[in-house]
Amino acid sequence: MNAVEDVYIQLYCEKNFTLFNVDTPNVLIPEDQKTGVLFDNSSVRHPNVAPTLKVKKIDGIDLQVLASLHPGQMQNMILQNTNDDSEDENDDDISAMPQPLAARNRREAPKASQEILAEDQNLRKKLEEERKKMEAEMKKLEDEKKKMEIEKKRIETEKKTMEAAANAAAKKKKEEEDAVKAAEEKRKQIEAATAAAVKKRQEEEKAATEAEKKRKDKEAEKLKLEKEANELTQKKIAEERAIADFEKKIKDKEAEKQKLEKEAAELEKKRLSEEKAIEETEKRLKEKQAERERLEKEAAQYFEKARRQSAAAKDIIARIKKEEEEAEQKKKKYEEFVIAAEKKRKEEEKAAEDAEKKRKEQEAEKVRLEKEAEELEKKHIALSKESEKTEELRQNEEAMAQSLQRRKEEEEKIKQSIKEAEEKRKLIEEAVRMAEKKRIEEEKAAAEAEKKRKEQEAADYFERARRQSAAAKDIIERIRKEEEAIALAEEKRKKEEAAAAEAEKNLKSKEEQKAKFEKEAEIAVKLAKEAEERRKLNEKAAEDAERKKIEEEAAAKIAEEKRRKEEELLEQMMSRRKELEAEIERLKAEAKELFLQAQIHSDAAKEVAEKLRKDEEAAKAAEMKRRNEEAAATAAVEKRQQYEMEAQKAEQERKVKEAEKARLEKEAADYFARARKQSAAAKEIKALLRREEEAIEEIKRRRREEEEKAAEIAGKKRRRRHHHRKDDPNVLKTTQNVALDVPPAFSQPPNEYTNLTNDQNVSSSTPIKKRKKHTAWLEKEKREEEERKMRELQLNNTSDSPIKRRKYCENSSSNIAETNEASKNESPKVQKQDDESGQNSAAPLPPKMKMIFVQGPILLKSKKPKA
C-alpha cells in the first residue's frame, strides 16, 4: 500500500507569537534555506511573524539552529503540516485571520506514534515546571547567600574586635597571673571535653560519608538507567520491531517518570530540611551574638575593676613596706634601751652592796630609817599597783596569742572560700572546650616564677610578723625580770638607810623608764595588729585580683570559642550551600539530558514514520509487511503467554480467596451459634438468680416472723427466770453463743443442730437456739450475696472470649440442673423435719441455701447473792 502520512514539525521559539496559516510547498524558498530561519522579519513571504523562530527539520532538509538558544529557555509547540489553500484566487500567502486548513491525508497517524508524542509533550511540560521551581529555589539560595555573606562580614568585624580585646587581655594577664595552676587543671578538663567533641565530629563525618556513599549509589543507578535508555534507543532504530520497541519504551518512560517524581519529592524534603537547619542556625547565631555582647560588657567591667584593684594593691604593698621599715627601726631603738637598762641595774646592785656595808656603820639612825621605811611601804603599795599593770601586760600577751589563733582560723576560712571559689570557677569554665597550647607552655614558666616570688614574699612577711611577736614577748619578759629586781632592791633599801634616797631616785628613774617601755610595748602591739590587718586586706585584694583575672581569661576563652564555632558554622553552611548548588546543577543537567532524550525519541518517531511511508511506497512493502506480521505474531504469542500466566495466577488467587471466604463464613457461623447458646444460658442464669432472690426474700420474711415469735417466748421465759432468781442465787446464766462458718454446699436439713460440748439435740423452742439461728442466718445471707457477686464478675470476665463464655454457661446450666434435682429429692425431708419440730410457719430452703447451725459452748456463771 502506498500510504501517505502527515509530517509533524517541531518549532522552538524564544517568545510567544501568533501563528498564521501559511501554505507549505514541497520545496522551501532558497532564501530561507540559506539563512536557516523559516519565520523571520527578513523573510520575503513572512514579514509580520515574530523574530527568531527556528525549525530543525522539514521535508528531510536539516536547517541551521543557533547554538545560543537552549531547549530549556524556549517554548515548544507541535504544528501539523497543512496543504496550500490555492483554491481561492484572491487568497494571499498570509491570511488576515487564522484559518485551519484541511489535512492532505485524512487518515490519522498511527496510535503508537500519537501516544509517544503526547507523552513527550507531557514530559516537557513537567520538566518546564521543575525548571521554574529550580529557578525559584536558586533565587532563594542566592538571597540566602547574600545574607550569609553580610553575616560573614559582620562576624569578621566582630572577630577583629574580639581579637583586639583578647590581645589587651593577654597583656594584662602577663601582669596579673597568680592562679595558673587552677587554670591548667581546668584546661585539662577542657581538653577532655574537646576530645569528646572531636569524637562526635568524627561520628558526624562518618554519617556524612555514608550519605555520600548512598548518593554515589543513586548516581550509579541513574547511570545504569541512562545506559538502559541508550540501549532502548538503539533498539528503536531497528526497523523490524518498531511497534514492540515503542511499547517497551513507553513502559520505560513510565518507570522513569515515577523515578523522577520520587526524586523530586526527595529533593523537596531535602530542601525543607535544609531550610529548617538554616533557620535553626540563624536562631543560634542570634543567641550567640546576644551572649557575646553580654560577655563583652562583663569583660569591660571586669577589666576596669581589675585595674582599680591592682592600683590599690600596689599602694597597700608600698604602705606595708614603709611600716615594716619603721617597725624595724623602733625595734633597734628598743633593744639599745634594754641594754642601757641592764647596765643601770648592775650599777644599782653594786650600790646596794655598798649600802649594806654602810648599814652596819649607821645603826644609830634606826628611828629615822623606820620613818623612812613607812614611807617606803607606801611606795611599795604603789609598786604593787604597778605589778598589777604588768599582769595586765601578760593578759595582753595572751590576747595576742588568741588573736594569732584567730588569724589562723581566718586564714583557714579564707582557704575554704578560695576552694569554693575554685569550684565555682570550674563550673563556670566547663563551657570552655579549646585552649591555646603555645600560650599554656609560655605562661607556665612565668606563672611558676611569679608564684615562687609571691610565696617567698608571703613567707618573708610571716617571718617578720613572728619576729615582731617574739621581740614583744622578750620585752615583756625583761620587764617582768626588772620588776623582780626592783622588788629585791626595795627589800635591800629597807635594810639600808644610807642608800635609801639614792634608791628612791633610781626607782623613780626606773619607773619612768618602765612607763616608757610599757608605752613602747603598747605601740608595738598596735603596730603588729595594724600590720596583720593590712596583711589580711592585701591577701583579700590579691585573691580578688586573681579571681577577676581568671574570670577575664574564662570570658576571653568563651568569646574565642564562640567565634571559632561561628566560623565553623559559617564554613559548614557555605559547604552545604555549595553542595546544594552542585546538586541543583546536576539535576538541571539530568533534566536537560532527559529533555534531549525525549527530543531524540520524537525525532526517531518521525524518522520511523517517514521510513514506513517510503517503504510502503517502494517495492519492499511485502517484505516489510511480512516482517511486521511476524513481529506482531511473536508479540501476540508473548502477550498470549503472559495473559495465560496472569489468568492462572488470578485463578489460583480466586481459589485461595474462596477457601478463605468459606473458612471465615464457617467461623462466623460457629461464632454466632456459640453466641446464641451463651445468650440463652445467660438468660437462664438470670432467671435462676431472680428466683433465688425471691426465695431469699420469702425466707427472710418467714425468719422475721419466727424471730418475733421467739422474742415473745423468750420475754415470757426471762420474766419467769427472773422471778425464780430472786429466791435461788445458784441459777446459771448464758453469756455467749457461737456459730461456725457455713460451707457453700449444704447436705443436711436447716432445722438440725449439733452441740460441740455434747451430742444431745437442743429443742428449737429455746431462745438460745433462736438467737443462734438468727446470727447464722445473717452470716448465710452475707455469704450468699458475696457468691452472687462473684458469679456476676465471672460472667462479666467470660463475656470477652466466646469459648470461655460458652464453657461457663454450660457449667452453670449443669450446676443449676443438679441443684434443682437435689432440691426435689430433699424437699420432703425438710417438710417432715419441720412437722416434727413443730415449726409450721418455716418453709424449706431453696437449693444451695441449706445451713448447718452449730451451737457453741454455753458459758455458765453463778450469780452472787445479795448482801
Q: Identify whether 730 is part of a domain.
A: yes
Q: Return d(Cα 761, Cα 857) in angstroms, integer.
A: 13
> pLDDT (tens digit, 9 = 90+) per residue, 568-579?
877 777 777 778
Of 80-89, 115-124, 453-462, highest mean pLDDT: 115-124
In a domain, residue 816? The reply is yes
- Banded pLDDT at 820 (limits 50, 70, 90): low
pLDDT over 80 (residue 443):
no
Tell me the DSSP string of 239-279. Answer: STTHHHHHHHHHHHHHHHHHHHHHHHHHHHHHHHHHHHHHH
188 and 264 housed in the same domain = yes
CA-CA distance, 340 to 347, in Å (whole number)? Answer: 11
Between 712 and 722, the higher pLDDT residue? 712
Rounded to an integer, the average pLDDT of 205-222 is 81
pLDDT digit string, tens, across residues 395-433: 776 777 777 777 778 777 777 777 776 776 677 666 566
124 and 93 housed in the same domain = no
Residue 331: pLDDT above 50? yes
309 against 713, higher pLDDT: 713
Q: How many independent structural domains does the chain possess?
A: 3
Exposure class string for 556-577: b at 16+ Cβ within 10 A, else e? bbbbbbbbeebeeebeebeeeb
Say if residue 687's pLDDT is above 70: yes
In a domain, residue 497? The reply is: no
- DSSP β-bridge partners for residue 853: 753
Q: CA-based angle 402:403:406, to the nearest 5?
A: 90
Same domain as 113, residue 37: no
Angle ∠(445,447,450) on CA atoms, nearest 5: 110
pLDDT at 286 > cutoff 50? yes
Average pLDDT over residues 61-68: 46
| pLDDT at residue number 798 | 53
* Encoded amino acid at 707, one letter: E
pLDDT of res. 93: 45
Kindly state whether residues 581 and 558 are assigned to the same domain. yes
Do 436 and 571 reside in the same domain of the chain? yes
Write down which residue in 618, 638, 662 finishes a domain: 618
Q: How far apart are CA 769 and CA 615, in angstroms?
A: 126
pLDDT tens-digit map of 542-558: 788 788 778 878 887 88
Band (pLDDT 50/70/90 cuts) for residue 48 is very low
pLDDT at 479 over 80: no
Antiparallel, parallel or unpaired: β 853-855 and 753-755:
parallel
With beta carbons less than 8 A apart as the criterion, state whether 855 and 754 touch.
Answer: yes
Q: What is the dihedral of CA 795, 796, 797, 802, to 10 degrees?
A: 70
Residues in contact with 649: Cβ distance below 8 Å, sequence separation at least 6, in sequence order = none
Cα distances (Å, whole numbers) of residue 804 to 667, 687, 809: 16, 21, 9
d(CA 614, CA 2): 8
CB 85 within 8 A of CB 106: no
Q: How much helix, strand and coil, in percent to the nearest 5, is found in the chain? A: 75, 5, 20
Give tens-digit pLDDT for 243-285: 667 677 777 877 877 877 787 788 778 778 777 877 887 787 7
Q: What is the pLDDT of residue 821?
A: 56
pLDDT band at 74 (very low <50, low <70, confident <90, very high): very low
Does the pLDDT of residue 8 top 80, yes or no? no
Whether residues 593 and 742 share a domain: the answer is no
The H-or-E segment that residue 765 falls in is none
Closest CA to 447 of 177, 765, 95: 177
More confident: 132 or 382? 132
* Statement to judge: residues 238 and 376 lie in one domain: yes
- Say what the pLDDT of residue 721 is: 53
188 inside domain: yes
pLDDT band at 101 (very low <50, low <70, confident <90, very high): very low
Q: Do 39 and 49 form a contact (C-beta atoms < 8 A)?
A: yes
The pLDDT tens digits for 631-665 are 877 877 887 777 778 878 888 888 888 888 788 87
- In a domain? residue 318: yes
DSSP state of 107: S
Length of the chain equals: 867
Does a structural domain hold residue 216?
yes
Residue 688, pLDDT above cutoff 80: yes
Prediction pTM value: 0.18
9 pLDDT band, cuts 50/70/90, is low
Q: Are residues 81 and 124 in the same domain?
A: no
**Residues with Cβ within 8 Å of residue 312, at least 6 apart in sequence:** 541
Domain residues for the domain of 841 are 673-862
Which residues are paired to 801 by β-bridges? none
Among the candidates 105, 122, 140, a domain finishes at: 105
Q: What is the pLDDT of residue 854?
A: 39
Residues 710 and 835 in one domain: yes
Angle of CA points 582, 588, 590, to nearest 5°: 105
* Highest mean pLDDT (candidates 707-721, 772-786, 853-867): 772-786
Collapsing DSSP to helix, strand or coil, 40 comes out as coil
Give the residue with greater pLDDT, 599 vs 692.
Answer: 692
Q: What pLDDT, on the 0 to 100 scale, is given for residue 865?
A: 46
CA distance 515 to 254: 121
Mean pLDDT of the chain: 68
Q: Is the pLDDT of residue 690 over 80?
A: yes
Residue 388 and residue 271 in one domain: yes
Quick one: pLDDT at residue 815? Answer: 56
Q: What is the largest CA-CA distance in the chain?
A: 191
Planar angle of CA 541, 547, 548, nearest 5 degrees? 90
- The DSSP bridge pattern shows strands 732-734 and 75-80 to be unpaired
What's the distance, CA 618 to chain centroid?
Answer: 80
538 and 687 share a domain?
no
pLDDT the model gives residue 667: 80
What pLDDT does 254 receive? 78
pLDDT at position 45, please? Answer: 47
The answer to whether the beta carbons of residues 21 and 99 sit under 8 Å apart is: yes
Shared-domain flag, residues 113 and 49: no
- Predicted confidence (pLDDT) per residue in 167-207, tens digit: 877 777 777 777 767 767 777 777 787 778 788 778 888 88
Query: What's the pLDDT score for residue 75?
Result: 42
Integer-rounded Cα radius of gyration of the chain: 62
Q: At what angle do helices 180-237 and 437-495 cross, to 10 degrees?
A: 170
Among the candidates 618, 641, 662, a domain finishes at: 618
Query: CA angle, 156 as apex, 150 and 161 as ends, to 5°?
Result: 130
pLDDT in tens, 718-728: 655 544 444 44
Which of 101-110, 576-585, 769-778 has the least mean pLDDT?
101-110
- Report the pLDDT value the prediction gives residue 739, as an integer from 0 to 100: 38
The pLDDT-based confidence of 389 (bands split at 50, 70, 90) is low
pLDDT of residue 761: 42
Q: Is residue 649 part of a domain?
A: no
Whether residue 700 lies inside any domain: the answer is yes
